[in-house]
Amino acid sequence: MAATIGVQLHVQDRHVVLDNGFLQVTLSNPDGIVTGIRFGGLDNLLEVLNQESNRGIKGTSFEVITETEDQVEVSFTRTWDPSLQGKQVPLNIDKRFIMLRGSSGFYSYAIYNHPKDWPAFSLAETRIAFKLRKDKFHYMVASDNRQRYMPLPDDRIPPRGQPLAYPEAVQLVNPVEAELKGEVDDKYQYSCDNKDNKVHGWICTDPPVGFWQITPSDEFRSGGPVKQNLTSHVGPTTLAMFISAHYSGEDLVPKIGDGEEWEKVFGPVFMYFNTTPVDASEDPKASLWEDAKAQMMVEVLSWPYTFPASEDYQKPDQRGYATGRLLVQDRFVSDDYIYASGAYVGLAAPGDVGSWQRECKKYQFWTKADEDGFFSINNVLTGDYNLYAWVPGFVGDYRCDATVSITSGCYVDMGDLVFEPPRNGPTLWEIGVPDRSASEFYVPDPNPKYINKLLVNHPEKFRQYGLWRDMVNYTLMPTWFTRWS
């Protein structure tokens, strides 16, 4: 019956309520802060003890953009006041929220705008963050093999928790749940490559309810496909990261110059909620997670969306495509061209070879080449780009010198492109495989006094970085070399 109910919008003096029969979302007016999410028998999924004064960027103006039975889109804007120069970031910010008929979730995106006559600023981080009820959401899922019951936020605070080398890493010395005693909690243990960071979240088991953050595209994220970003962590907190300096520092902080015109659309991302019958025979946590992954695929296949109302968000027919084939020419490996199988190929802002890794002002679009080196980069925003690539197994980065101009509806065939890895001669010896991964390197077991039990005998042991006794030293033994001529 709920699926037949149209979307309803209720505007009050201090709050705006979106309701489609599946869920009800309350936002402060005109701040545009999500203060309540009613779903699955819970009056509010969010932590009510978190003060509204500590909830992020506040709007100063509210506007209804779209209001039909099929869709409601609302806008909360903040226009920069020059009298606040030095106290407030010189940005116009438009936060949007969308609810669709029959949808078990809502979408959010934002448009950041810096006119050309405004002063300079740096944007160290921007994201969407939700803090959930700590009395309900105890089980966190970052991936198939990283999910567990998590500590409470109280466990991280002395005397229950003891900070280690940096404040994010805390040893649980007297947690509420005794079985967690001695473990180390660190939000960086749950980070993820952009390319893999599509869905994560939290589960309440009584009643069984899932709270999921789904990001269907990486185009608006900084740093490219292998940039690590945070996901969910103790709070309970779930994040949609757009720009961050994590794992990189100042290189990935956008610096908008004095008089520089800049605009970027972040999102939309989807906040998805699901539930399962209490008497289900299977593990409700597994059922909720599998359903969340299925919904993630629905969102990915629906990208780019057709329903956002902002003209700044380009729809499918406004975007373009680029295709081609990447070959490798390495005469020390083969006299023939080598297919760039599994190569990562992307369009990013024009720059030097490898500059995409530090690019954080504009958009990036990436794909993987097939076994014959053919690639197709779809749904690219209009603009000028360079094509970049790297090929697993070969040192170096590729950049096509020609500028790739994408216009609405265009189809750019780039033909055969040839990457020549940098060499001074034949390979004498090497440690590891040049694939932007350290998966083949030895990672020692952590000190038993400092562990995360989830990561013991885990394929990603490196996530317990710093918890082993000594640093790793590699020794090249004289008996390991092979004579060649």
Choose among 407, 120, 403, 386: nearest CA to 262: 120
More confident residue, 336 or 445: 336
Choose among 252, 243, 244, 264: nearest CA to 112: 264
More confident residue, 345 or 483: 345
Phi-psi region of 432 (alpha: psi -120 to 50; beta: other; left: phi over 0): left
Residues near 158 by beta carbon (within 8 Å), at least 6 away in sequence: none
Angle at 347 between CA 344 and CA 351, to 5 degrees: 110
Choose among 323, 343, 402, 398: nearest CA to 225: 343
What is the number of other CB atoms lying within 10 angstroms of the CB of residue 42?
18
Residue 55 has pLDDT above 90, yes or no: no
Q: What is the pLDDT of residues 427-467, one digit of tens each?
A: 888 888 999 988 888 888 889 999 999 998 888 888 888 88
What is the number of other CB atoms lying within 10 angstroms of the CB of residue 79?
12
What token pair was written down for 21?
Answer: 């029969």
Mean pLDDT of 71-95: 94
Q: What are φ and ψ of residue 421, in 5° steps? A: -60, 145
CA distance 449 to 467: 9
Query: What amino acid is encoded at 467 in this protein?
Result: L
DSSP letter (8 states) at residue 459: T
CA distance 37 to 39: 6
Rounded to a whole number of angstroms, the distance between the first and last alpha carbons of the chain is: 78
Mean pLDDT of 169-177: 97
Mean pLDDT of 462-484: 70
More confident residue, 365 or 249: 365
**The pLDDT value given to residue 2:** 45
**The pLDDT value given to residue 152:** 98
Q: What is the pLDDT of residues 5-25, one digit of tens each?
A: 899 999 999 999 999 999 999
Residue 27 has pLDDT above 60, yes or no: yes
Name the residue with tokens 């496909």: 225
**The pLDDT value given to residue 461:** 86
CA distance 205 to 34: 23
Domains and CATH numbers, the chain: 2-301 (2.70.98.10), 316-419 (2.60.40.1120)
CA distance 208 to 137: 10
Mean pLDDT of 170-180: 97
CB 316 within 8 A of CB 405: no
**The pLDDT value given to residue 440:** 84
Percent of the chain at pLDDT exceeding 70: 95
Name the residue with tokens 């599994």: 342
CB 252 within 8 A of CB 360: yes
Mean pLDDT of 64-69: 98
Lowest mean pLDDT among 31-40, 84-93, 256-265, 383-392: 84-93
Residue 1 has pLDDT above 70, yes or no: no
CA distance 306 to 357: 30
Q: How confident is the model at residue 52 (pLDDT cuts 50, 70, 90)?
A: low
Q: What is the pLDDT of residues 395-435, one digit of tens each?
A: 999 999 999 999 999 999 999 999 999 999 998 888 889 99
